[in-house]
Structure 1
Amino acid sequence: MDLKQRARTEQFTVELVRAMPHLTVSQAVSAAMQLSESMELPRFEDFGSLVTLVNGLQLRPAFEWELFGYEPVDDALPIRLEVPHEPGRNQRIHFEDHYLSTHTRRVHPPGVHLPDYRDSVGGWRKRLGYVTRPSLEYTAFTSAAANRKIPMRRVEMLGNLWKIGAVATWENDRDGETSWCHVGRHPLPGESPHPEMTEHDAWYHLRIHPEIGRDVIVEIARCLAEIHLGYVEKLWDAPPPEGAQRGPESEAAAYIALERLWIPQRSRRTDWYRRYTAGEPMPVEFRWNAVFRVAEQIEDLLRGDTAPVTAYAGGS
């Protein structure tokens, strides 16, 4: 695969992951890999046309098509995706076939109408987890540039930061940077964070400059990516493999996760974003596999689908 084709395939994969929050990130990456050849990606000359392609795709499980009176056409391409299971449980791996709408046909009138795909996907995008806990500490967390409060749904998301021992605050005393993420305190092995953490006892302190304006959640997500990627010491797990693309990888992970969480992307375009949308190949050190893994972890944390972590025995 030449460099141009590789970059186009990477764009297709990223945008499909962003567009399909009803699939896990891992499932969406797998779906993109299975679909990429049949999509004839080289015919899409620019980023906008590729995004239009992705946004027009409807991918549903085979059982859902059947339930509403549809079946695959004779030459349909099944997209086989692994069914998620609870981590830590020794379960057999199961796969489930999915089909694009263009690969199905109606064979008999269903008892009910097929749910609107965009409405269904939007519902998944807006969902918050059952263990989300709003934090009153973030209700007054305002954007100095926009002079408005963050929507309550995003406040609830910030209420999940404590689960990895993180606290976000404004930073007014430093110039030249938009944020600073650093270890505030090394926990004892086996210790878990608590919801009442402040910047004085937090494991991580995310210090955000007010000039970031409405991009504050984007910047917090980028800081979380730096932690999960290992650019800031990870205190609750074994250290991940070292990387050499701190800014681009953390920006890419946040870009993927936030769209799945129904949060606007960064208003100020970064060098990584310009290169990505222009179809330029990423440097050889850039790790898409790590980016997708971390995007899923950021999404799970902010959505509220995770429990508090436990400090790693080697992290003290």
Structure 2
Amino acid sequence: MISSTIRLIKPLAPHLIPLVVFALAIPVVIALSLSAGWFVWRSIAVGWELPLYLQYGDGPPPYAVIHLPNMLAQQPYDISLHLVVPSTDTNYALGNFMSTLTLFTPANNTLATIRRPAIVMPNSWWRSFVSPGVVVLDIPLLSEFRSTSNNVLARIELGRQDHWRSLANGEGRELSVSSALLRGVVVHKGLRGIITRFPLFTAMISSGVFLFISFVILATCLLPAIEWRFHRESNETESDDDRYTSRPIKSEWSERRRGKAPRRSRSATTPRLDSYEFKAEDDIVSIPSAASAPSPLRRRRSRLSQSSDGDE
């Protein structure tokens, strides 16, 4: 049973093997294309927003240290601080305070340091209606910051170095904060900006391009084998035909066009002269030619001359 099946499949193997390889390669190519799109989507720079947990009572002003997400090198970011503070009289009485941001690597190499002032002001009537009891502050820190390292740490400090000891009776004071966020917004510029603005569309385009290139490579690898098999079969067919034809047949029209007299091919049914025997006659009979035969006028004259000679 197995041997008969092998005998049936063996003539079709040269045609089935490329088809099977192509069919098995399609799921692999599609999976790789999807993986390429996902990788591009994950590699595109996106904005981030991290919560800050401020530490109080450690001596310096309230501070927090966080690890920033993977920042792409040479990608500009706008970094700002978002604060939500209670709308209390003590916060209003503090006046100006400082927001300090320090970016550094795990090896303690400082990348950037910035200090920005801010102040807590009472909300307007419409803002008090939207967010009663709190004051929202957005403090811009760095504009178009480009990191030279992917692994970055940030340290944020709020308050003043003198702890507002010049206020009232000179006791130390601190800013009361309900919540704090550190935001990084991607700056869209040039071709990189178009890619970062449409990450999903870019990932789909990348997946499609990878799929097209993979199919082209796969077809380039399989077509030579198929073409080689086709030429081999055609050559075998031509060699079989050449067994029955000794020389190519040239048409009369092509020979006349080149100014040659057409050559008539000897047919297989045309008898050959050397294959026959001719019987020779014993007696040679000479046949007079038409010029030597007497004409009717001469015969009449000869008869008249003979009759005249008889009468005499």
Bucket of the pairwise TM-score, normalised by the shorter protein: under 0.3
Give the number of the structure whose alpha-carbon radius of gyration is greater: 2
Q: Greater share of strand residues, 1 or 2? A: 2
Q: Higher relative CO (CA 8 A, sep ≥ 6), structure 1 or 2?
A: 2
The two structures have a TM-score, normalised by structure 1, of 0.17
